Copies of this chain bind each other. A is one copy, B any other.
């Protein structure tokens, strides 16, 4: 949560002038995004109707060569009536520009707020929307490898090392064996699509039970749809104490399958995939934990939260995804 780069009003106004959106009226740095800086931008609009946008400056973690995929996917899905923000192209038609050596993109502002304590009706709607995104992405022309696949998760945990993992929690190194098992999984025969791969409630804008926007597609990649559903399940269906929210889990799966029925092979694989999904967040949180000084003013997310979800899926996954 930060704005990493200071952009002066004059610099912002000059940048915005490259887009067909009218002159700059307001710009506020917003506290969103861990790997980029974001501003909520207001312009006078071209037809003197005020318009709002999110300006994103890509700071780190994001490879420039991935931007055509990320931004193109937004345009592709938006054109197919999925609730994702479209990219505003500049007057030369470019989806992103360079500013001070960094890429910037102007993205449609969407209304809505991210639920902190989602309800079943919201989980249903998110499942439905996720399936629509999967369907709409089938004819997208670009692809991107999953850089957070099960093999990478294992490499990340092994890179941390048992001793460092144990310094976070004495039980944490025990996740290495399941991580090795997950890395062996072959998901290539499962139905594929472009997947969001990080659909936490933070990345969903809603008004009541209506999804108004899926955002932050910067882990999006080509991969098995069941993986996206499993990530979303692990991210949405547990309360703050780690208890499984049965109603939300049922609603998410029902919403998803109201648009796209899971096949037998996917259902059979889902318990293993869900365990793999928890390992992804265990790995990234463990790495962040070890990278963050003890006295930093940043709240570290506890990897053990997802260890407990791994145990839950290990015991109950077969029932839940039956």
Binding site for B on A (CB under 8 A): 1-3, 8-13, 24-32, 40, 42, 109, 111-117, 205-207, 297
Cβ-defined partner of A29 (8 Å) among B13, B24, B30, B115: B30
Are the C-beta atoms of B27 and A30 separated by less than 8 Å? no
Cβ-defined partner of A113 (8 Å) among B13, B32, B111, B117: B13
Cβ-defined partner of A32 (8 Å) among B10, B25, B29, B207: B29
Query: For A26, what are the chain B residues with a Cβ–Cβ distance below 8 Å?
Result: 109, 111-113, 205
Can you give 6 contacting A-B residue pairs, CB < 8 Å?
A: A8-B116, A9-B206, A10-B116, A11-B116, A12-B113, A42-B111
Cβ-defined partner of A30 (8 Å) among B40, B109, B115: B40
Cβ-defined partner of A115 (8 Å) among B2, B10, B32: B10
Chain B residue with Cβ nearest A299: B6
Give the copy number.
2
Are the C-beta atoms of B25 and A111 separated by less than 8 Å? yes
Are the C-beta atoms of A28 and B40 separated by less than 8 Å? yes
User: What's the minimum C-beta distance from A85 to chain B, rounded to whole angstroms?
Assistant: 13
Are the C-beta atoms of B40 and A9 separated by less than 8 Å? no
Are the C-beta atoms of B8 and A31 separated by less than 8 Å? no
Cβ-defined partner of A25 (8 Å) among B30, B114, B207: B207
Query: For A2, what are the chain B residues with a Cβ–Cβ distance below 8 Å?
Result: 1-2, 31
Query: Which one of A3, A30, A32 has the highest number of Cβ atoms from chain B below 10 Å of its Cβ?
Result: A30
Query: For A109, what are the chain B residues with a Cβ–Cβ distance below 8 Å?
Result: 26
User: What's the minimum C-beta distance from A51 to chain B, rounded to whole angstroms?
Assistant: 12
Query: For A29, what are the chain B residues with a Cβ–Cβ distance below 8 Å?
Result: 1, 30-32
Known: A9-B116, A113-B9, A116-B10. A3 touches B28 (CB 8 A): no
* Cα-based distance from A113 to B31 in the complex (angstroms): 18
User: What's the minimum C-beta distance from A34 to chain B, rounded to whole angstroms?
Assistant: 13
* Cα-based distance from A112 to B9 in the complex (angstroms): 9
Chain B residue with Cβ nearest A293: B295
User: What's the minimum C-beta distance from A164 to chain B, rounded to whole angstroms?
Assistant: 22
Are the C-beta atoms of B42 and A32 separated by less than 8 Å? no
Known: A31-B2, A31-B30, A40-B30. A25 touches B115 (CB 8 A): no
Are the C-beta atoms of B116 and A27 separated by less than 8 Å? no
Chain B residue with Cβ nearest A12: B113
Chain B residue with Cβ nearest A42: B111
Query: For A27, what are the chain B residues with a Cβ–Cβ distance below 8 Å?
Result: 113
User: What's the minimum C-beta distance from A121 to chain B, rounded to whole angstroms?
Assistant: 14
* Cα-based distance from A297 to B4 in the complex (angstroms): 10
Query: For A12, what are the chain B residues with a Cβ–Cβ distance below 8 Å?
Result: 113
* Cα-based distance from A46 to B40 in the complex (angstroms): 23
* Cα-based distance from A276 to B117 in the complex (angstroms): 52
Are the C-beta atoms of A28 and B25 separated by less than 8 Å? no
Cβ-defined partner of A9 (8 Å) among B3, B8, B42, B114: B114
Query: For A3, what are the chain B residues with a Cβ–Cβ distance below 8 Å?
Result: 1, 31
Chain B residue with Cβ nearest A31: B29
User: What's the minimum C-beta distance from A239 to chain B, rounded to whole angstroms?
Assistant: 13
Query: For A115, what are the chain B residues with a Cβ–Cβ distance below 8 Å?
Result: 8-10
